[in-house]
Amino acid sequence: MNNRIVILDTETTGLSPRAGNRILEIGCVEVLNRQLSGNNLHFYINPERESEEGALAVHGLTTEFLSDKPVFAKIAPEFLDYVRGAQIIIHNAPFDVGFLDAELALLGLPPFKEHVDEVIDSLQMAKEIHPGRRNSLDALCDRYGISNAHRTLHGGLLDAALLAEVYLAMTRGQNSLTMDLAGGEDEGEGAGAMELAPLAQVIVVPAGDEDLALHEDVLNQLDKEVRGSCVWRFEPPPPEADAAAAAPAA
């Protein structure tokens, strides 16, 4: 597994590269062995066009501010060297990757995914972890207790830094199961055994009278639909009974 992760975010002049919109900011935050390394990368880029009104309201980067910044072709070598071979985490990855591919195509270079190990969409990951809930970066910051009070406008490096904290919080459970296979002979019996992190106390909340009544109403409705007793009214036999029924006759 690649231990080098780069959290990446872009800001653009609009919503679609097909409409001629361009990247005007890139922010990258490096994570090594689940720790922020501090080896980050950030560019303001002259997009060689004005931002659409809606995009400008999001990032606040004016044409005047960006006029003396390097164009994408100038920063491309350093940017590609930085991300090469890394696992890339992007929130709503198709959006950013689409713009990166368009910029690289203008330079005659291969698509973005051919320069990196893989691209993971943290928005899709969040939807799988929190189905049916809001999973914007701001919503995830609130959910995981990550302060974004200083975020009045979107910014490539700022958003990448917030996403890095969100990503580490979302994937923290992956480190709860560890396996020590490097133990020497002097560690005694049991070296190399799997170590499980202690489980949190399981809280069981029994159904109340109102819940039981609602459940009974549902079962009654199912009984009407099947014109009999629905399967949910039958208790499975104990394991011993299953084993006895499956055993061949003597």
- 163, pLDDT greater than 50: yes
d(CA 168, CA 188) in angstroms, rounded, equals 34
Which residues fall in the annotated binding site? 9, 11, 59, 159
Residue 87 confidence class, pLDDT cut points 50, 70, 90: very high
Decide: 157 and 42 in contact? Cβ < 8 Å: yes
Residue 115 annotated in active site: no
Q: What is the pTM of this model?
A: 0.68
Beta-strand runs (E) in 69-115:
87-90
Cβ partners under 8 Å of residue 199, min gap 6: none
Q: Which CATH architecture has domain 4-173?
A: 2-Layer Sandwich (3.30)
Query: Half-sphere exposure of 102 toward its Cβ, with a 13 Å CA cutoff?
Result: 17
The 10s digit of each residue's pLDDT in 147-157 is 876 555 567 88
Calculate the alpha carbon distances from 119 to 7, 102, 166 in Å: 10, 16, 17
> In the chain, what are the domain boundaries?
4-173
> With the CA atoms of 171, 93, 148 and 5 taken in that order, what torsion angle do they form, in degrees rounded to the nearest 10?
50
Which residues fall in the annotated binding site for substrate? 9, 11, 59, 159
pLDDT of residue 247: 57
Residue 216 confidence class, pLDDT cut points 50, 70, 90: confident
Structure tokens that stand for 48 in this block: 């060689």
- 189, pLDDT greater than 70: no
The 10s digit of each residue's pLDDT in 228-249 is 776 566 665 565 555 555 555 5
The 10s digit of each residue's pLDDT in 99-119 is 999 999 999 999 999 999 999
pLDDT of residue 89: 98
